[in-house]
Structure formats: structure tokens, C-alpha cells
Amino acid sequence: QPKFNTNLEVCGVEALIRWNHPALGILTPHMFIEGAEKTGLIIPMGYWALEQACLQIQEWERSNTPFYPVAVNLSALQFENKKLFSTLEALLKKYQIQPHHLIVEITESTAMRHIDLSIRACERLRDMGIRVAIDDFGTGHSSFLYLKDLP
């Protein structure tokens, strides 16, 4: 799905997960994410989405055609998971992609849930060359004062 800047110009793309259910057809995240979080499937599902994004980035980098960075949403559980960084490092190595072509998106509520943890995680992602975006900013109770603390 395309992402637009304030001038309504395409500035990136976002990988969105869908479930092609054999009986119900295409299911959107609001129809299955809660269940995936409760069962613990959200972690492998999120890593699958990251891997698919890295595979696509690899294809685009090899084609030598211009493309936009790919953003992937991370759930709060995935963002706080101890294996996040080792998984990202392994994916970057496996697909030999430029890390700045990958953007991880977290929601405002995820970023504000444990602000100190979020700051450290964002710093580590930045050090890896991966960009971070705050999704749905302004829909929660955070403040621009907190935003300035994020790297």
C-alpha cells in the first residue's frame, strides 16, 4: 500500500498482512490479530511479514530500479521481544539488503507503553540503519514532549 507525504506524493510503501482464509476469504488484521496475540502466533507472524518485506527489498535492489522504502508494522509483543534484533540482523544478512530500505512501524501506544525500552530499541534500530516510524500518532494520549525523546 502506498504511503503519502503532506503534499500527497508517494514517499514509501507499507506491507500489510492479510489472511486468505479458505472459507471466509480475505481477512484483515482487525479480524485475526487479537487471536494471534493471545495464542503467541503474533511473533512468528510478524517475523514472516518482515522476511517477506526483506525478500521484496532484495528483488528491488537487484533490479536496479528506483523504489520506495518498505514499512512493516510490529506488534507491541514483537517490538518488546528479545529476539527482535537478532532476527532483524539475520534477515539483513540473509537477504543482503540495505537496512535503510526497511522501516519498522510501531503504534503510538506501543512506543509509549514502556518509553525507556522504546527509546533504547529505537536507538538500536537506528544504529543498525533501520528507520522507525510511529504509526497512528495523535490517536493516543502521548505528547510531543515524549516524541522528542525518541531517536
* pTM recorded for the entire structure: 0.84
Q: What is the pLDDT of residues 67-89, one digit of tens each?
A: 999 999 998 899 999 999 999 99
76 within some domain:
yes
CA atoms within 13 A on the CB side of 22: 0
Summarize pLDDT for 22-78 with one digit per residue, the tens.
999 999 888 998 899 899 899 999 999 999 999 999 999 999 988 999 999 998 899
Which range of residues forms the domain containing residue 125? 2-14+30-147
Number of domains in the chain: 1
The CATH number for 6's domain is 3.20.20.450
132 lies in some domain: yes
CA 78-98-104 angle, to 5 degrees, is 25
Sign of the C-alpha dihedral computed for residues 47, 123, 128 and 126 taken in this order: positive
Distance of CA 135 to the CA centre of its chain: 9
